[in-house]
Amino acid sequence: MESIVIHGGCEGKEVSPAEQLERTQGVEQAGIIGWEHLAAGAAAEDAVQAALEYLEDHPAFDAGLGSYPNLVGDYEMDALMMNSRGEAGGVACIQDVQHPIAVARKVKEHTPHHLLVGLGAQWFARLHGLPPFRVGPKTQRQPTDQEAAELLDRYLEIIENQTRYSTVGAIARDTTGHICAGTSTGGIPGKLPGRMGDSAIIGAGTYASQAGAACATGVGEGIMRLAVTRQVVQALAQGLILDDAIQNILAQCSHEGIPCGIIAMTAQGHTLAAHNGTFMPVWQAAQRR
Which residues are known catalytic residues? 167
Say how many CA atoms lie within 13 Å of 210 toward its Cβ.
1
Nearer to ligand GLY, 162 or 175 (CB): 162
What's the CA gap between 146 and 151, in Å, rounded? 9
Q: Which of 165, 207, 279, 283 binds ligand GLY (CB under 6 A)?
A: 165
Q: Which of 52, 55, 219, 249 binds ligand GLY (CB under 6 A)?
A: 219
* Min dist. Cβ of residue 237 to ligand GLY (A): 24
Q: Residues in contact with ligand GLY, total (CB under 6 A)?
A: 12
What's the CA gap between 78 and 274, in Å, rounded? 22
Q: What 3-state class would DSSP assign to 127?
A: helix
Confirm or reject binding of residue 188 to ligand GLY (CB under 6 A): yes
Name the closest residue to ligand GLY (Cβ).
197
Q: Which of 169, 187, 190, 281 binds ligand GLY (CB under 6 A)?
A: 187
Q: Which of 3, 67, 185, 206 binds ligand GLY (CB under 6 A)?
A: 185
Eight-class DSSP state of 72: T
User: If we measure between CA atoms, which residue out of 242, 248, 249, 252 comes closest to residue 273?
Assistant: 242
* Min dist. Cβ of residue 167 to ligand GLY (A): 4
Q: ∠ at Cα 232 (234, 194), nearest 5°?
A: 105
CB 43 within 8 Å of CB 109: no
* Min dist. Cβ of residue 171 to ligand GLY (A): 16
Q: Which of 220, 269, 277, 281 binds ligand GLY (CB under 6 A)?
A: 220
* Min dist. Cβ of residue 38 to ligand GLY (A): 26
Kindly write out the interface string for residues 196-215 of this chain, putting x where it contacts ligand GLY by CB under 6 A and - elsewhere: -xxx----------------
**251 CB-contact burial (10 Å; exposed 0-12 / middle 13-18 / buried 19+):** exposed
What's the CA gap between 79 and 72, in Å, rounded? 21
The residues that touch ligand GLY, with contacts defined as CB under 6 A, are 165, 167, 185, 187-188, 197-199, 217-220
